[in-house]
Amino acid sequence: MDTFQRSLRLTVDPSHVFDYVAEPRNWARFLPTVQSADMVRGERERVRMRGVSHGHPYDTEGYLKLDRHRLSMQWGTEGEHGYRGSLEVRKVDSDDLETEIGLELRFSKAPAGDVEKEMEQTLENIRDHFLRPHSRR
């Protein structure tokens, strides 16, 4: 299993960061391959994602587990090409606004493309959302 990890620090209240990333309707704003994502109707922990990855369209469902107390989330898909990921938002030291986002992805088969670059782009997109003047902090 291939595992990739990345992290990023920013000066934003950790709970605001988590509220933003935990909402599937926001995912298209920061995940490079996602065009839309929504919770599956009638399913508490299922999410449907649509997008294009490395020139190939996809429409898939997976699980999503949120832990608002720990500001963490886990997601993944089942099957031969399954993967899973986790994201944690942590307060850094005693500074209430210094936040670290930790992102980890695990693939059952070697993924196509540059996963590390896409992870970095994801974290930069999250950071940029909070750096825009109209963003809520």
Q: Is the pTM of this model over 0.75?
A: yes
The CA-atom distances, in angstroms, between 100 and each of 4, 26, 71 are: 17, 19, 11
pLDDT in tens, 96-133: 789 999 999 998 887 777 889 999 999 999 999 999 87
For residue 117, what pLDDT is reported? 93
Q: Which residue has the tokens 């899973």?
A: 84
The residue type found at 108 is S
Biggest distance spanned by C-alpha atoms of the chain: 44
pLDDT in tens, 21-58: 999 999 999 999 999 999 999 888 999 999 998 888 99
Domains and CATH numbers, the chain: 2-131 (3.30.530.20)
